[in-house]
Amino acid sequence: MKSASLKGIKIIITAGPTREYIDPIRFISNPSSGKMGMAIAEEGLARSADVTIVYGRGTVKPPEAAKVIDVETTEEMSEAVVRELRERHYDILIAAAACADYKPTRKEDEKIPSKQKGLMIRLEPTVKVIEEARKVDKNVFLCGFKAESGIPAEVLLARTSTRLKDVGANLMVANDISNPDSGFMTDTNEVYIIDTENRVTHVPTCTKREVAAKILDTITSKIHKKGY
């Protein structure tokens, strides 16, 4: 039965946006609400999984049955995921968070005066959560997300396939956030699910809960076949 298809399975999910601070009150972030990650968490719980959420500053309330670890920056999210993977066995990691890709090289200790005529901010890449996760756990079934904007589907799929191989993921979920029905803060999504054999499953626009169900259907099928 689907209602108990993940009984005994432990899932850790990253969700929501991260923030990278310029000074104590200003930060770099994105409009992610955390809805996709929470939909996956709710679907996992509905299938009797044990669910942990590492949650950035999203706007959606997490399900009460899940363990929730609140974080703010990408580094904090990475550290929380790595700590969980080291301290507890997880079968599945689904990295659905919209982590900030860059951060200021320096965070000012005090608020930068607002009357300055200009402000130059130097940025550097943030840590890649799924890369750090794979380093500490070679066996966890790793599902990543790849968001792009305004590119042809074939380019989106090619970039996602490359990313899957680069990080050693088992599955990647790709979407175009420039689509008004599948971007940030929407209740719907359209995605492509890509596996290690470059097989693609297109999930047309539907609710994020329905997308979550399709993702977990795919993962469940694979872990049962491979014995993850």
**CATH number of the domain enclosing 96:** 3.40.50.10300
Q: Comparing C-alpha atoms, which of 76, 131, 127, 119 is closest to residue 102? A: 127
pLDDT tens per residue, range 86-107: 999 999 999 999 999 999 999 9
Establish if 27 belongs to a structural domain.
yes
Active site residue 139: no
**The model's pTM:** 0.95
Establish if 208 belongs to a structural domain.
yes
Establish if 58 belongs to a structural domain.
yes
pLDDT tens for the chain, 228 residues long, are: 467 789 999 999 999 999 999 999 999 999 999 999 999 999 999 999 999 999 999 999 999 999 999 999 999 999 999 999 999 999 999 999 999 999 999 999 999 998 888 889 999 999 999 999 999 999 999 999 999 999 999 999 999 999 999 999 999 999 999 988 887 999 999 999 999 999 999 999 999 999 999 999 999 999 887 655
Establish if 115 belongs to a structural domain.
no
Establish if 18 belongs to a structural domain.
yes
Q: What are phi and psi of 114, to 5 degrees?
A: -80, -10
Neighbour order of strands in the sheet with 10-15: 67-70, 50-55, 10-15, 92-95, 141-148, 171-176, 188-195, 200-207
Beta strands in the chain (DSSP E): 10-15, 20-21, 27-28, 50-55, 67-70, 92-95, 102-104, 123-125, 141-148, 171-176, 188-195, 200-207
Q: Comparing C-alpha atoms, which of 184, 181, 182, 24 is closest to residue 97? A: 184
Establish if 111 belongs to a structural domain.
no
Query: Which of 30, 139, 170, 198 does the annotation list as catalytic?
Result: 30
Q: Which two tokens stand for residue 163?
A: 């990313």
Establish if 112 belongs to a structural domain.
no
Establish if 147 belongs to a structural domain.
yes
**Number of structural domains found in the chain:** 1
pLDDT of residue 72: 98
Residue 160 belongs to domain spanning? 2-106+122-226
pLDDT of residue 226: 66
pLDDT of residue 115: 84
Contact 11, 85 (CB under 8 A): no
Q: Comparing C-alpha atoms, which of 12, 59, 7, 66 is closest to residue 42? A: 66
Q: Which two tokens stand for residue 34?
A: 């955390």
